[in-house]
Amino acid sequence: MNMRRIRKQIFSLLRYLPKFLRDHICRSRIHIPPLREDLRFEIAKTQKDLDQAFQILHDAYVKEGFSKPHASRRRITDYHALPSTTTLVAKHEGQVVATISVIRDGPFGLPTDQVMDLSRFRDKGERLGEVSSLAIRPDFRGRSGEVMFHLFKYMVHYSLDYFGLDRFVIVVNPERITLYESVLCFTPLHRSALKKYAFANDAPAVCATLNLRRAAQTWFAAYADRPAHQSIYHLFFGGFSEAERRQMRFPERPFYTVSDPVMSPGLLDFFFNKCTDTFCRFKAPQIKALRSIYLENDYAAVWPRQWAIPHENARRGRRFEVACSGMAHAADHNPVALTVMDASRTGLRVRADAELDMDASPVFKIEVGEDKAVLVKARLRWRSGMIYGLEILYAGSFWGQLLDYLEQQFALTVGPGSEPATAVG
């Protein structure tokens, strides 16, 4: 038995210790190495980067028993077809060496929905994201700390600042839950391990969650007495060094949007028709959802023949997810803070911090980008808790510019080029 397997078994036994003792042991063993200057962290946008990520993921999942071998030697999930899924990668000398995907709650739901009811979070209007598809190239596994700590920092900041998430959920093997619970402060959502999780080849699993909007306070409390090289809080929220600013590349956006669509017609065809037969296995609700997202004519040639079903082109009512803060103002009422969750040319969905009196005909002042505030007049169409669906009666010019920009992002995936990433800051 090699040392790696021995360490793995010892680590898995820690979950049987009392929590305070388990946390102390795990946190005292952390050593966060400096960022290597030959690593880069970015969104996987090209066929090469995505292909390398999916191959690393396939081999790692097959080795661990979380996936059956596929003839293509790639693990590609249904969720990777969506613009609400982003694949993040660490690269060394231009080659992908590690990958992780963040799946935002969307038209397919989340993989966790197979085994756990998440309505307690959705009912509060929280935007959920599942951390999934984590893998590292075999030749980097012996020095995984040099990559993974910094990949996680990149993922946390991307999820908070660019992906609009309020909460992480995860489904992990019981042997790995100690890492997420004791080191990253996730909270298990149930007491005993699930016997089967279909998304991971029916492996046993544990579901856990982390309130991302309170993560800084959570990690500060957990690591207050730890030195910097052992502190997850210091790593994630101690600022960006000059090296990190150069090596961690985040999107540059003129508006407060939350998606980075990369799946061009060519990429969808390559990964979902040629490498796999995923599209042929899609069910009617998935087909309808995907076709309502990718409305550009160039995508029509990608869909399998059996998808030739009547479809209404809803381009004018096309909805996009955003994360724009705003205020509702009405006469004789206190202003109410809110967040715009999605937007279209005809309506918007908002999460309000207090009840809105729609009979008072409030005017909404919404920050759609830096120094871009827009006034919106709207009427109520539906309500669920503190979530309101509104029909736009009037909107200032920045609203139209926001929608133009969002539509352009999809148009860019059809063209030969894509939006470049930029460094932090």
**Same domain as 236, residue 96:** yes
Arithmetic mean of pLDDT over the chain? 91
Is residue 279 domain-resident?
Answer: no
Does residue 341 lie in a domain region?
yes
Q: What is the dihedral of CA 183, 189, 190, 195, to 10 degrees?
A: -80
Average pLDDT over residues 383-405: 95
The answer on 163 and 260 residing in a single domain is no
Mean pLDDT of 24-42: 94
Count, residues in the chain: 425
Are residues 411 and 296 in contact, defined by beta-carbon separation less than 8 angstroms? yes
Looking at residues 415-422, what average pLDDT do you find?
45
Q: What is the pLDDT of residue 311?
A: 54
Is 275 a member of any domain?
no
How far is 136 from 134, CA to CA, in rounded Å?
A: 7
Same domain as 265, residue 178? no
Instruction: Tell whether the model's pLDDT for residue 419 goes beyond 50.
Output: no
Does residue 293 lie within any of the structural domains? no
Please enumerate, as own/partner, the contacts of 44-49 that have beta carbons within 8 Å and a separation of 24 or more. 44/87, 44/88, 44/89, 44/96, 44/99, 44/262, 45/260, 45/262, 45/418, 45/421, 47/266, 47/267, 47/270, 49/89, 49/91, 49/96
Does some domain include residue 18? yes
CA 56, CA 134: separation in Å to the nearest integer? Answer: 9
Domain assignment present for residue 231? The answer is yes
CA 233 – CA 223 distance, rounded (Å): 6
Contact (CB, 8 A) for 397 and 376 = no
What CATH number is associated with residue 17? 3.40.630.30
287 inside domain: no
Across the range 2-7, mean pLDDT stands at: 58
pLDDT in tens, 358-369: 888 899 999 999
pLDDT classification of 25: cutoffs 50, 70, 90: confident
Q: Which residues contact 256 (CB under 8 A, 6 or more apart)?
A: 322, 323, 324, 325, 367, 368, 369
Ranked by mean pLDDT, which of 7-21, 76-90, 131-145, 195-209 comes out on top?
A: 76-90
Give residue 281's pLDDT: 92
d(CA 238, CA 339) in angstroms, rounded, equals 27
pLDDT in tens, 256-293: 999 999 999 999 999 999 999 999 999 989 999 999 99
Same domain, 36 and 162: yes
- Is 318 within a domain? yes
Q: Which of 222, 250, 278 is the last residue of a domain?
A: 250
Which three-class secondary structure state does DSSP give residue 277? coil
pTM: 0.92
Q: Are both 204 and 260 inside the same structural domain?
A: no
In this predicted structure, the answer to whether residue 418 has a pLDDT above a threshold of 50 is no
Helix (H) or strand (E) holding 397: helix 397-414
| pLDDT value at residue 8 | 59
CATH of the domain at 329: 2.40.10.220
Per residue in 339-348, pLDDT (tens digit) is 999 999 999 9
How high is the pLDDT of residue 12? 64
Asked if residues 74 and 92 have their Cβ atoms less than 8 Å apart, the reply is no
pLDDT (0 to 100) of residue 10: 61
Longest dimension (CA), the chain: 73
> What percent of the chain clears pLDDT 70, i.e. is strictly above it?
92
| Residues 84 and 200 reside in one and the same domain | yes
Which residues form the domain of 351?
Answer: 254-270+313-419+421-425
Across 328-353, average pLDDT: 95
139-187 pLDDT, tens digit each:
998 888 899 999 999 999 999 999 999 999 999 998 888 889 999 999 9
Same domain, 320 and 412: yes
Check pLDDT > 50 for residue 303.
yes
Residues 146 and 183 in one domain: yes
The SS3 of residue 60 is helix
- Looking up tokens 């993560």 gives 215
Spatial CA neighbour of 325 closest among 288, 361, 364: 364
Question: What whole-number distance in Å separates Cα of residue 258 and Cα of residue 367?
Answer: 14
Same domain, 35 and 144: yes
Check residue 420 and give its pLDDT: 39
For the segment 107-133, the average pLDDT, to the nearest whole number, is 95
pLDDT tens digits for range 48-80: 999 999 999 999 999 999 999 999 999 999 999
Q: What is the number of structural domains in the chain? A: 2
Q: How confident is the model at residue 206 (pLDDT cuts 50, 70, 90)?
A: very high
Residues 235, 262 within the same domain: no
The answer to whether 250 and 422 have CB atoms below 8 angstroms apart is yes
Answer for the pair 102, 130: CB distance below 8 angstroms, yes or no: yes
Q: SS3 for 26?
A: helix
* Distance separating alpha carbons of residues 124 and 385, to the nearest angstrom: 7
Judge if 392 and 370 occupy the same domain.
yes
A 10 A CB-CB count for 303 gives 22
39 and 166 co-located in one domain: yes
